Chains A and B, each alone.
Chain A
């Protein structure tokens, strides 16, 4: 069953994300973290996000997770699992810490996608009605709006570099790192140019000309929103109680 995402207030979603992310940071128990991940996954699906797409996105992060587990294992003291010439490579504690970090990252990434089911305009409106200054709320909406464009630009630059006949997987690592440094330049330059153009466009439309702003669209929390927030708070309270006692 899918809940029609448009009916849920963005503030409810933001509250849910804050609660879930806070739980992910606070809790260290792997079983509980797995439970939170499962709940987050279900909520995201219920709100209309394609879970398979999320799994695909997380698949790209698998090497980051593995690297975290290895680094944590190497630098954490504890019960050794693998030792090579008196050097501990893997420890039980290290693997546990690595898994905790990996699960935390998964929860935060998936929970953040809950907010993406609302339009940037609705999120801004939600933040404004939370009494957050309009300028800051607008900045948040710009970040949400432009992030996919930056990712696309990075991808295009890497494509363009390869289309100049450079086979990235066949060149030495030192040269490859230098090539990747070229990717940053167009992204930074275009970001600066876009921000300049955007500021001119905003000024020309009279951004911030009046001290107060009126909104055509007003968000109104309904019973379901309060109920969802209550369920999340109670759930969070229950999880913390289980974790502490």
Chain B
């Protein structure tokens, strides 16, 4: 048993297994107008991958494809070994945490605390454990003083932190973050960097779509440049 475990670990060290694998993926919102053009990629949990490129290049669309929100019109996307076409969004959500470009889109409870605990309550997690986890998340993201506040009256930065807390309470294996630093001040950007670094150390895979060069350079181990729906550069640091 011990031997087989060591063998598996050794195998994973030599050949890293991609958590998200894209094979010849094409996607367009309209017929015959591909936004994503025949992209093949493999994203690893061990990496901190950053997607950069100009506006309208297809980064957000690619992020949504990788999160199973969109299904490719041609090609395949494997999420932890399963084709995204065979996965329901709820099943994807158990593996991947996705942060929308606009955090308002993923806030839906009447209070900050309820929004963070929403998924745990519906999954039937014990109340004591839910409270404990919510407390921890609110402390990490400095939302404790806002716990009973209506989320839509929060500032952009607070909404961003709330959306992240709501995702991270689920303990996903992989995170896809679309412009996570939007609306964050320098101090909070630094705190977010520390949190993401810590999560990355704990083995949570990261894919970040961002224009924030400093943030990307500070955290990423791999930078993929997307222009016009094509990967034009894929560099490792």
Residues in A lying within 8 Å of B, measured CB to CB: 153, 156-157, 159-171, 175, 179, 182-183, 185-186, 189-190, 193
Contacts and interface: CB of A to CB of B under 8 A. Distances in A.
21 contacts: A160-B108, A161-B118, A163-B97, A164-B118, A164-B166, A164-B170, A165-B90, A165-B119, A166-B90, A167-B91, A169-B88, A175-B122, A182-B109, A182-B118, A185-B110, A186-B105, A186-B107, A189-B152, A190-B104, A190-B152, A193-B152
Interface of B: 67, 69, 88-94, 96-98, 100, 104-110, 118-119, 122-123, 150, 152, 166-167, 170, 172
A153, A182, A183 interface centre (most CB from chain B within 10 Å): A182
A149 to B, nearest CB: 12
B104 A163 contact: no
A162 B119 CA distance: 9
Chain A, interface SS category: helix
A167 B88 contact: yes
A186 B119 contact: no
A170 B108 contact: no
A219 B122 CA distance: 55
A182 B111 CA distance: 12
Contact of A163 (B98, B109, B122): B98
Given A166-B123, A186-B104, A159 B109 contact: no
Given A160-B105, A164-B118, A189-B150, 4 more contacts: A157-B105, A163-B97, A164-B93, A186-B104
Contacts of A190: 104, 152
Which 10 A-B pairs rank lowest in CB-CB distance, beginning with the nearest?
A167-B90, A162-B89, A160-B106, A164-B119, A165-B93, A163-B93, A189-B152, A165-B94, A156-B105, A182-B108
Nearest to B96: A163
A186 B100 contact: no
